[in-house]
Amino acid sequence: MSRPARALLDAGALKHNLQQVRLHAKRARVMAIVKANGYGHGFAWVAQTLGESADAFGVSSLEEGMQLREAGVTRPVCLLEGFFTVGELPLLSKHRLEPVIHHDGQLKAILQASPMLKLAVWIKVDTGMHRLGFSPVVVSEVVNQLRSDSTVAGIRLMSHFARAEFPDDEVTRSQINEFTSVSRNLELELSIANSAGILAWPSSHLDWVRPGIMLYGASPLVDKNAERLGLKPVMTLESALIAVHARKKGDAIGYGGDWHCPEDMPVGVTAIGYGDGYPRHAPPGTPVLVNGRRVPTVGRVSMDMITLDLRSQPQAKIGDPVVLWGRGLPVEEVAESAGTLSYELLCHVTERIPRVVV
Protein backbone atom coordinates (compact mmCIF):
# COMPACT_ATOMS: atom_id res chain seq x y z
CA MET A 1 0.00 0.00 0.00
CA SER A 2 1.33 3.44 -0.86
CA ARG A 3 1.14 6.66 1.12
CA PRO A 4 -2.52 7.72 1.18
CA ALA A 5 -2.03 11.46 0.50
CA ARG A 6 -3.51 12.49 -2.87
CA ALA A 7 -5.48 15.21 -4.60
CA LEU A 8 -8.74 14.11 -6.20
CA LEU A 9 -9.65 16.21 -9.23
CA ASP A 10 -13.33 16.49 -10.14
CA ALA A 11 -13.68 17.12 -13.89
CA GLY A 12 -17.45 17.56 -13.54
CA ALA A 13 -16.97 20.32 -10.96
CA LEU A 14 -14.52 22.13 -13.26
CA LYS A 15 -17.00 22.07 -16.15
CA HIS A 16 -19.82 23.11 -13.84
CA ASN A 17 -17.82 26.12 -12.61
CA LEU A 18 -17.19 27.22 -16.20
CA GLN A 19 -20.95 27.07 -16.78
CA GLN A 20 -21.37 29.35 -13.76
CA VAL A 21 -18.96 31.81 -15.39
CA ARG A 22 -21.11 31.74 -18.52
CA LEU A 23 -24.32 32.22 -16.51
CA HIS A 24 -22.90 35.41 -14.99
CA ALA A 25 -21.18 36.79 -18.07
CA LYS A 26 -23.58 35.66 -20.79
CA ARG A 27 -22.26 37.73 -23.66
CA ALA A 28 -18.54 37.68 -22.87
CA ARG A 29 -15.99 35.21 -24.15
CA VAL A 30 -14.05 33.29 -21.52
CA MET A 31 -10.28 33.14 -21.12
CA ALA A 32 -9.72 30.40 -18.53
CA ILE A 33 -6.69 31.26 -16.39
CA VAL A 34 -4.46 28.21 -15.98
CA LYS A 35 -1.21 29.82 -14.79
CA ALA A 36 0.63 28.47 -11.72
CA ASN A 37 0.04 24.98 -13.06
CA GLY A 38 -3.70 25.55 -13.26
CA TYR A 39 -3.74 26.84 -9.66
CA GLY A 40 -2.13 23.54 -8.67
CA HIS A 41 -4.57 21.31 -10.55
CA GLY A 42 -2.30 20.61 -13.53
CA PHE A 43 -2.66 23.15 -16.32
CA ALA A 44 -2.69 20.67 -19.17
CA TRP A 45 -5.40 18.65 -17.43
CA VAL A 46 -7.50 21.78 -16.84
CA ALA A 47 -7.13 22.97 -20.43
CA GLN A 48 -7.83 19.52 -21.88
CA THR A 49 -10.85 19.03 -19.63
CA LEU A 50 -12.35 22.39 -20.55
CA GLY A 51 -11.30 21.98 -24.18
CA GLU A 52 -13.39 23.91 -26.65
CA SER A 53 -15.83 25.06 -23.98
CA ALA A 54 -13.36 27.81 -23.03
CA ASP A 55 -12.62 30.45 -25.68
CA ALA A 56 -8.97 30.93 -24.71
CA PHE A 57 -6.47 30.11 -21.97
CA GLY A 58 -4.16 32.38 -19.95
CA VAL A 59 -0.67 31.29 -18.85
CA SER A 60 2.51 32.99 -17.56
CA SER A 61 5.14 32.03 -20.09
CA LEU A 62 6.09 30.82 -23.55
CA GLU A 63 7.08 27.44 -22.08
CA GLU A 64 3.62 26.97 -20.57
CA GLY A 65 1.99 28.02 -23.83
CA MET A 66 4.07 25.53 -25.80
CA GLN A 67 3.21 22.76 -23.34
CA LEU A 68 -0.48 23.49 -23.88
CA ARG A 69 0.05 23.15 -27.62
CA GLU A 70 1.92 19.85 -27.07
CA ALA A 71 -1.05 18.70 -24.95
CA GLY A 72 -3.27 19.26 -27.99
CA VAL A 73 -4.87 22.55 -26.90
CA THR A 74 -5.97 24.41 -30.03
CA ARG A 75 -7.72 27.46 -28.50
CA PRO A 76 -5.93 30.84 -28.38
CA VAL A 77 -3.39 31.05 -25.54
CA CYS A 78 -2.49 34.39 -23.96
CA LEU A 79 0.84 34.98 -22.18
CA LEU A 80 -0.25 37.19 -19.29
CA GLU A 81 3.24 38.59 -18.61
CA GLY A 82 4.08 38.82 -22.29
CA PHE A 83 7.49 37.81 -23.58
CA PHE A 84 10.73 38.31 -21.70
CA THR A 85 13.26 38.30 -24.57
CA VAL A 86 13.08 39.14 -28.27
CA GLY A 87 14.22 35.61 -29.06
CA GLU A 88 10.79 34.32 -28.02
CA LEU A 89 8.94 36.10 -30.82
CA PRO A 90 9.35 33.47 -33.57
CA LEU A 91 8.14 30.77 -31.19
CA LEU A 92 5.13 32.86 -30.18
CA SER A 93 4.27 33.14 -33.84
CA LYS A 94 4.89 29.48 -34.59
CA HIS A 95 2.67 28.29 -31.73
CA ARG A 96 0.05 31.05 -32.15
CA LEU A 97 0.60 32.40 -28.64
CA GLU A 98 -0.72 35.89 -27.88
CA PRO A 99 1.55 38.04 -25.69
CA VAL A 100 0.44 40.82 -23.39
CA ILE A 101 2.44 43.97 -24.21
CA HIS A 102 2.93 45.97 -21.04
CA HIS A 103 6.08 48.08 -21.45
CA ASP A 104 8.00 50.12 -24.03
CA GLY A 105 10.73 47.50 -24.51
CA GLN A 106 8.18 44.92 -25.64
CA LEU A 107 6.48 47.49 -27.85
CA LYS A 108 9.78 48.35 -29.55
CA ALA A 109 10.61 44.67 -30.02
CA ILE A 110 7.29 44.08 -31.78
CA LEU A 111 7.71 47.15 -33.98
CA GLN A 112 11.17 45.96 -35.03
CA ALA A 113 10.16 42.32 -35.56
CA SER A 114 9.77 40.69 -38.95
CA PRO A 115 6.36 41.41 -40.55
CA MET A 116 6.22 37.69 -41.35
CA LEU A 117 5.52 36.84 -37.69
CA LYS A 118 1.87 37.98 -37.58
CA LEU A 119 1.26 38.21 -33.85
CA ALA A 120 -2.04 38.85 -32.09
CA VAL A 121 -1.34 40.95 -28.98
CA TRP A 122 -3.09 42.21 -25.88
CA ILE A 123 -2.16 45.71 -24.65
CA LYS A 124 -2.16 45.94 -20.86
CA VAL A 125 -3.54 49.16 -19.42
CA ASP A 126 -2.75 50.10 -15.84
CA THR A 127 -6.03 51.43 -14.43
CA GLY A 128 -5.03 51.26 -10.77
CA MET A 129 -3.48 47.88 -9.97
CA HIS A 130 -0.05 49.50 -10.46
CA ARG A 131 1.65 46.24 -11.33
CA LEU A 132 1.87 45.87 -15.12
CA GLY A 133 0.70 48.04 -17.97
CA PHE A 134 0.83 51.30 -19.88
CA SER A 135 -0.53 54.45 -18.34
CA PRO A 136 -4.01 55.25 -19.76
CA VAL A 137 -2.65 58.51 -21.19
CA VAL A 138 -0.37 56.72 -23.68
CA VAL A 139 -2.69 53.89 -24.67
CA SER A 140 -4.14 55.41 -27.83
CA GLU A 141 -0.61 56.18 -29.05
CA VAL A 142 0.48 52.58 -28.35
CA VAL A 143 -2.59 51.31 -30.22
CA ASN A 144 -1.81 53.58 -33.18
CA GLN A 145 1.77 52.37 -33.40
CA LEU A 146 0.74 48.72 -33.29
CA ARG A 147 -2.11 49.29 -35.75
CA SER A 148 0.28 50.61 -38.34
CA ASP A 149 2.72 47.72 -37.87
CA SER A 150 2.31 44.78 -40.21
CA THR A 151 3.72 42.29 -37.67
CA VAL A 152 0.56 42.79 -35.63
CA ALA A 153 -2.35 40.60 -36.68
CA GLY A 154 -4.78 41.66 -33.96
CA ILE A 155 -5.02 43.97 -30.93
CA ARG A 156 -7.11 43.68 -27.78
CA LEU A 157 -7.01 45.68 -24.55
CA MET A 158 -6.66 44.20 -21.08
CA SER A 159 -6.55 45.59 -17.56
CA HIS A 160 -6.62 43.96 -14.12
CA PHE A 161 -8.48 44.62 -10.88
CA ALA A 162 -6.70 45.33 -7.62
CA ARG A 163 -9.57 44.76 -5.18
CA ALA A 164 -12.77 43.66 -6.91
CA GLU A 165 -13.41 41.16 -4.09
CA PHE A 166 -14.80 44.03 -2.00
CA PRO A 167 -18.42 44.93 -2.81
CA ASP A 168 -19.34 48.42 -3.90
CA ASP A 169 -15.75 49.64 -3.88
CA GLU A 170 -14.66 53.06 -5.14
CA VAL A 171 -11.31 51.84 -6.52
CA THR A 172 -12.96 49.12 -8.61
CA ARG A 173 -15.60 51.54 -9.90
CA SER A 174 -12.89 53.94 -10.95
CA GLN A 175 -10.87 51.16 -12.65
CA ILE A 176 -13.92 50.20 -14.74
CA ASN A 177 -14.58 53.85 -15.66
CA GLU A 178 -10.95 54.48 -16.53
CA PHE A 179 -10.77 51.36 -18.70
CA THR A 180 -13.98 52.02 -20.61
CA SER A 181 -13.13 55.69 -21.13
CA VAL A 182 -9.59 55.02 -22.37
CA SER A 183 -10.90 52.48 -24.85
CA ARG A 184 -13.70 54.70 -26.18
CA ASN A 185 -13.39 55.22 -29.95
CA LEU A 186 -10.63 52.60 -30.24
CA GLU A 187 -13.06 49.85 -31.28
CA LEU A 188 -11.10 47.05 -29.70
CA GLU A 189 -12.20 44.04 -27.68
CA LEU A 190 -11.80 44.64 -23.95
CA SER A 191 -11.11 42.51 -20.87
CA ILE A 192 -10.80 43.44 -17.21
CA ALA A 193 -12.92 41.00 -15.15
CA ASN A 194 -11.27 38.32 -13.00
CA SER A 195 -13.46 35.98 -10.93
CA ALA A 196 -14.48 38.73 -8.51
CA GLY A 197 -15.39 40.99 -11.42
CA ILE A 198 -17.46 38.22 -13.02
CA LEU A 199 -19.38 37.55 -9.79
CA ALA A 200 -19.78 41.03 -8.34
CA TRP A 201 -19.24 43.64 -11.06
CA PRO A 202 -21.50 43.00 -14.10
CA SER A 203 -20.44 46.27 -15.73
CA SER A 204 -16.89 44.88 -15.94
CA HIS A 205 -17.77 41.88 -18.13
CA LEU A 206 -17.19 43.64 -21.47
CA ASP A 207 -15.94 41.37 -24.32
CA TRP A 208 -13.74 38.86 -22.49
CA VAL A 209 -13.75 37.65 -18.87
CA ARG A 210 -10.74 35.94 -17.25
CA PRO A 211 -11.80 33.58 -14.46
CA GLY A 212 -9.18 31.83 -12.35
CA ILE A 213 -10.11 30.93 -8.78
CA MET A 214 -13.85 30.48 -9.43
CA LEU A 215 -13.12 27.83 -12.06
CA TYR A 216 -11.42 25.85 -9.32
CA GLY A 217 -14.47 26.20 -7.09
CA ALA A 218 -13.31 28.72 -4.49
CA SER A 219 -14.89 32.07 -3.75
CA PRO A 220 -12.92 35.24 -4.48
CA LEU A 221 -15.43 37.42 -2.61
CA VAL A 222 -14.99 38.52 0.98
CA ASP A 223 -18.70 38.31 1.75
CA LYS A 224 -19.90 35.13 -0.04
CA ASN A 225 -18.71 31.56 0.16
CA ALA A 226 -18.30 29.24 -2.80
CA GLU A 227 -21.39 27.16 -2.07
CA ARG A 228 -23.58 30.27 -1.97
CA LEU A 229 -22.09 31.27 -5.32
CA GLY A 230 -22.97 27.86 -6.80
CA LEU A 231 -19.34 26.80 -7.20
CA LYS A 232 -18.05 23.27 -6.61
CA PRO A 233 -14.53 22.46 -5.37
CA VAL A 234 -12.43 20.82 -8.07
CA MET A 235 -9.63 19.61 -5.80
CA THR A 236 -10.18 17.50 -2.70
CA LEU A 237 -6.93 17.03 -0.82
CA GLU A 238 -7.13 13.84 1.18
CA SER A 239 -5.09 11.39 3.21
CA ALA A 240 -5.81 8.86 5.96
CA LEU A 241 -5.10 8.18 9.61
CA ILE A 242 -1.78 6.36 9.97
CA ALA A 243 -1.75 6.24 13.80
CA VAL A 244 -4.17 6.72 16.68
CA HIS A 245 -2.87 7.01 20.28
CA ALA A 246 -4.53 7.34 23.66
CA ARG A 247 -2.69 10.34 25.20
CA LYS A 248 -2.69 11.45 28.82
CA LYS A 249 -3.73 14.82 30.19
CA GLY A 250 -0.67 17.13 29.90
CA ASP A 251 1.10 15.18 27.11
CA ALA A 252 2.90 17.55 24.72
CA ILE A 253 2.10 16.86 21.06
CA GLY A 254 4.61 17.35 18.23
CA TYR A 255 7.47 19.79 17.50
CA GLY A 256 8.12 22.45 20.09
CA GLY A 257 5.95 20.57 22.56
CA ASP A 258 3.81 23.64 22.98
CA TRP A 259 0.40 22.00 22.64
CA HIS A 260 -0.68 19.95 25.66
CA CYS A 261 -3.60 17.56 25.93
CA PRO A 262 -6.21 19.22 28.16
CA GLU A 263 -7.43 15.78 29.27
CA ASP A 264 -6.88 12.10 28.48
CA MET A 265 -7.77 11.92 24.78
CA PRO A 266 -7.21 10.10 21.48
CA VAL A 267 -4.82 11.85 19.09
CA GLY A 268 -4.66 10.80 15.44
CA VAL A 269 -1.85 11.27 12.93
CA THR A 270 -2.52 11.80 9.24
CA ALA A 271 0.04 11.45 6.46
CA ILE A 272 0.30 14.91 4.92
CA GLY A 273 2.25 18.01 5.93
CA TYR A 274 3.97 21.16 4.80
CA GLY A 275 6.30 19.21 2.53
CA ASP A 276 3.19 18.30 0.55
CA GLY A 277 1.87 21.87 0.48
CA TYR A 278 -0.32 21.92 3.57
CA PRO A 279 0.29 25.31 5.25
CA ARG A 280 2.83 25.05 8.09
CA HIS A 281 1.26 28.09 9.76
CA ALA A 282 -2.16 26.47 10.12
CA PRO A 283 -2.66 26.83 13.87
CA PRO A 284 -4.12 24.21 16.23
CA GLY A 285 -7.87 24.24 15.71
CA THR A 286 -7.72 24.32 11.91
CA PRO A 287 -10.53 22.03 10.70
CA VAL A 288 -10.05 18.74 8.84
CA LEU A 289 -12.60 16.01 8.13
CA VAL A 290 -12.15 12.54 9.60
CA ASN A 291 -14.73 10.10 8.30
CA GLY A 292 -16.55 13.12 6.86
CA ARG A 293 -16.81 14.91 10.20
CA ARG A 294 -14.88 17.95 11.41
CA VAL A 295 -12.11 17.64 13.93
CA PRO A 296 -9.47 20.24 14.87
CA THR A 297 -5.73 19.88 14.33
CA VAL A 298 -3.48 19.92 17.40
CA GLY A 299 0.21 20.85 17.75
CA ARG A 300 2.36 22.07 14.89
CA VAL A 301 2.14 20.90 11.29
CA SER A 302 5.13 18.63 10.51
CA MET A 303 6.76 18.14 7.13
CA ASP A 304 4.74 15.04 6.26
CA MET A 305 2.27 14.61 9.12
CA ILE A 306 -0.43 16.44 11.07
CA THR A 307 -1.83 15.52 14.49
CA LEU A 308 -5.57 15.58 15.12
CA ASP A 309 -7.88 15.86 18.12
CA LEU A 310 -10.07 12.75 17.93
CA ARG A 311 -12.12 13.35 21.09
CA SER A 312 -15.28 13.67 18.99
CA GLN A 313 -14.42 10.38 17.20
CA PRO A 314 -13.04 7.94 19.76
CA GLN A 315 -13.81 5.06 17.38
CA ALA A 316 -11.58 6.44 14.58
CA LYS A 317 -8.88 4.01 13.46
CA ILE A 318 -5.85 3.63 11.20
CA GLY A 319 -6.89 3.82 7.55
CA ASP A 320 -9.91 6.08 8.12
CA PRO A 321 -10.19 8.85 5.50
CA VAL A 322 -9.07 12.40 6.21
CA VAL A 323 -9.96 15.42 4.04
CA LEU A 324 -7.75 18.50 4.34
CA TRP A 325 -9.91 20.62 2.02
CA GLY A 326 -12.29 20.23 -0.87
CA ARG A 327 -15.60 18.38 -0.81
CA GLY A 328 -17.21 19.08 2.58
CA LEU A 329 -14.51 21.50 3.75
CA PRO A 330 -14.02 24.72 1.76
CA VAL A 331 -10.38 25.56 1.04
CA GLU A 332 -11.16 29.19 1.95
CA GLU A 333 -11.87 28.12 5.52
CA VAL A 334 -8.50 26.40 5.87
CA ALA A 335 -6.80 29.38 4.21
CA GLU A 336 -8.43 31.80 6.62
CA SER A 337 -7.34 29.73 9.60
CA ALA A 338 -3.76 29.66 8.26
CA GLY A 339 -3.73 33.40 7.52
CA THR A 340 -3.48 32.98 3.76
CA LEU A 341 -5.61 32.67 0.60
CA SER A 342 -7.19 29.72 -1.16
CA TYR A 343 -5.09 30.71 -4.21
CA GLU A 344 -1.88 30.02 -2.31
CA LEU A 345 -3.04 26.76 -0.77
CA LEU A 346 -4.17 25.33 -4.09
CA CYS A 347 -1.07 26.22 -6.05
CA HIS A 348 1.28 25.06 -3.29
CA VAL A 349 0.17 21.42 -3.42
CA THR A 350 3.42 19.80 -4.48
CA GLU A 351 4.22 17.41 -7.29
CA ARG A 352 4.70 14.70 -4.63
CA ILE A 353 0.94 14.52 -4.24
CA PRO A 354 -0.55 12.29 -6.93
CA ARG A 355 -3.41 13.91 -8.83
CA VAL A 356 -6.24 11.44 -9.32
CA VAL A 357 -9.03 12.39 -11.70
CA VAL A 358 -12.47 11.28 -10.52
C-beta closer to ligand PLP: residue 54 or 196: 196
Beta strands, E only, 136-234: 152-158, 189-193, 208-209
Sign (positive/negative) of CA torsion 177, 182, 183, 185?
Answer: positive
C-beta closer to ligand PLP: residue 42 or 273: 42
C-beta closer to ligand PLP: residue 17 or 195: 195
Q: Is 35 considered catalytic here?
A: yes
* Cβ 47 vs Cβ 73: under 8 Å: yes
Distance from C-alpha of 31 to C-alpha of 338, rounded to nearest angstrom: 30
**Hey, what's the torsion of the CAs at 220, 224, 228, 233, to 10 degrees?**
30
* Cβ 209 vs Cβ 193: under 8 Å: yes
Distance from C-alpha of 237 to C-alpha of 278, rounded to nearest angstrom: 9
Q: How far is the CB of 265 from ligand PLP (least distance, A)?
A: 40
Q: Which residue is nearest to ligand PLP (CB)?
A: 212
- The reply to whether 273 sits near ligand PLP by the rule CB under 6 A is no
Cα angle 153, 154, 157 (rounded to 5 degrees) comes to 150
For 245, residues 6+ apart whose C-beta sits below 8 A from its C-beta are: 266, 267, 268, 269
C-beta closer to ligand PLP: residue 198 or 310: 198
Q: How far is the CB of 181 from ligand PLP (least distance, A)?
A: 20
* Cβ 17 vs Cβ 50: under 8 Å: no
Among 106, 151, 175, 195, binds ligand PLP (CB under 6 A): 195
Q: Among 68-76, 109-117, 146-154, 209-217, which window interacts with ligand PLP (CB under 6 A)?
A: 209-217
SS3 125: strand
Instruction: Tell which positions 2-31 bind ligand PLP, by CB under 6 A.
Output: none
Instruction: Tell which positions 227-256 bind ligand PLP, by CB under 6 A.
Output: none
- The reply to whether 220 sits near ligand PLP by the rule CB under 6 A is yes
Distance from C-alpha of 277 to C-alpha of 269, rounded to nearest angstrom: 17
Among 152, 213, 323, 334, binds ligand PLP (CB under 6 A): 213
Q: Is 26 considered catalytic here?
A: no
C-beta closer to ligand PLP: residue 197 or 277: 197
Give the total of residues touching ligand PLP (CB under 6 A).
11
Pairing verdict, β 152-158 and 287-290: unpaired
* Cβ 356 vs Cβ 7: under 8 Å: yes
Distance from C-alpha of 158 to C-alpha of 164, rounded to nearest angstrom: 15
Q: How far is the CB of 197 from ligand PLP (least distance, A)?
A: 8
Q: Among 20-28, 66-74, 113-121, 210-218, which window interacts with ligand PLP (CB under 6 A)?
A: 210-218
- The reply to whether 82 sits near ligand PLP by the rule CB under 6 A is no
Q: Among 104-112, 193-201, 259-267, 292-300, which window interacts with ligand PLP (CB under 6 A)?
A: 193-201
- For residues 149 to 178, the per-residue mask of contacts with ligand PLP, x marking binding by CB under 6 A and - elsewhere, is -----------x------------------
- The set of catalytic residues is 35, 255
Residues that bind ligand PLP (CB under 6 A): 33, 80, 160, 194-196, 210-213, 220
